[in-house]
Structure 1
């Protein structure tokens, strides 16, 4: 928690799923590391909350994620690679995040995310999402296919059309 959010307010909140390859090692395959850095900067100014969730690889774990990387190298997108391994395309569950917010006395949030599933899950778990605040777009030649899959497969609000020139 950066500062103390006002009681009854809707603090800016980032639910960030662990990504060892992106957060720690700076992998260019994803946008996780840049999103985490952006969140820390924005939340420190807004006195918001960062929940770092142990859900590596969309909830499939590090070793399965590395197996999925091999399939991605053969042309599958991140979701299809997970499915080819017999795993959920996105197995993340935000129940623990809702519980943590409840423990902090936070029942309403401004959610820092491009992912509509985070909003849907939090809302279903009783957390009011007052609004979703988009993160920046951290597109590179190395992660454009990954970002396109996020937009096309799961409706992430990433403005890739502005970048495709």
Structure 2
């Protein structure tokens, strides 16, 4: 993928700027990793790109927020790791696509507060009740940064891999053309079934629940 068009002088209103990029061989195929630095913070957001999305319609894209507990520690409390792996597998078998990895842990409240919320959940609160008890809104994630990163990739429209209608609306509000939604299958286990049902019932996530037995 040629990236000469990505090195223009950023506009003053840009929220992120491209800092570095390199090819990366992965089990999903050869990807190009691009690191964007968020202006005014120390956050570095990542795009993993397959092929060249410039000028194409319906490029498969996952906009994913980091989840250390599932992606690194293997937590069973959510489906974040499975959604990320599903997106990478799908893009790996496509001619082109991208995964945007945003550094906004715990739906935007940060890792420390996420673990505080987990402590409240262990005492019976659901994911939204726990956030509110800590003084946070239901979801503090933002997608204007992802929209700017997507615009630098240059696709004409995307097929968004998500179960979250609010994410589609947020990206469209930032000028991203979302052609269609690609569902992300959520596998259930005894630890995440309540979380998934709560997301579906409270915030309208389009989750198709698939039963999964955990090893004895």
Higher alpha-carbon Rg: 2
In the alignment, the residues of structure 1 paired with residue 127 and residue 205 of structure 2 have an alpha-carbon distance, to the nearest angstrom, of 14
From 78, 89, 92, the counterpart of 1:30 = 78
Q: What does 1:145-164 correspond to in 2, within 5 Å?
A: 145-160=194-209, 163=211
Q: TM-score, normalised by structure 2?
A: 0.72
Residue 70, structure 1, aligned to residue 119, structure 2: yes
- How far off is 1:88 after superposition? 1.4
Task: Detail structure 1 runs of 4+ shifted over 2 Å in the superposition.
Answer: none
2:65 alignment partner in structure 1: 17
Output the aligned Cα RMSD.
Answer: 1.4
Residue 112, structure 1, aligned to residue 155, structure 2: no
Moved more, 117-126 or 5-14: 5-14
Greater RCO between the two (CA within 8 Å, min separation 6)?
1
In the alignment, the residues of structure 2 paired with residue 6 and residue 127 of structure 1 have an alpha-carbon distance, to the nearest angstrom, of 14
CA contact (8 A) 1:101 1:107 kept: no
CA contact (8 A) 2:54 2:153 kept: no
Q: What does 1:94-109 correspond to in 2, within 5 Å?
A: 94-109=143-158
Q: TM-score, normalised by structure 1?
A: 0.94
CA contact (8 A) 2:66 2:101 kept: yes
Q: Which consecutive residues of structure 2, in runs of 5 or more, have no partner in the other structure?
A: 1-48, 212-216
Superimposed CA distance per residue, residues 20-71 of structure 1 (whole angstroms, 9 cap, x where no aligned partner): 0011111000001111111110111122110001010000000000000001
Tell me which protein shows more strand as a share of its residues: 2
From 42, 52, 69, the counterpart of 2:90 = 42
In 2 relative to 1, CA 107–83 (structure 1 residues): closer, same or farther, beyond 3 Å?
farther
From 88, 99, 117, the counterpart of 2:137 = 88
From 160, 168, 174, the counterpart of 1:125 = 174
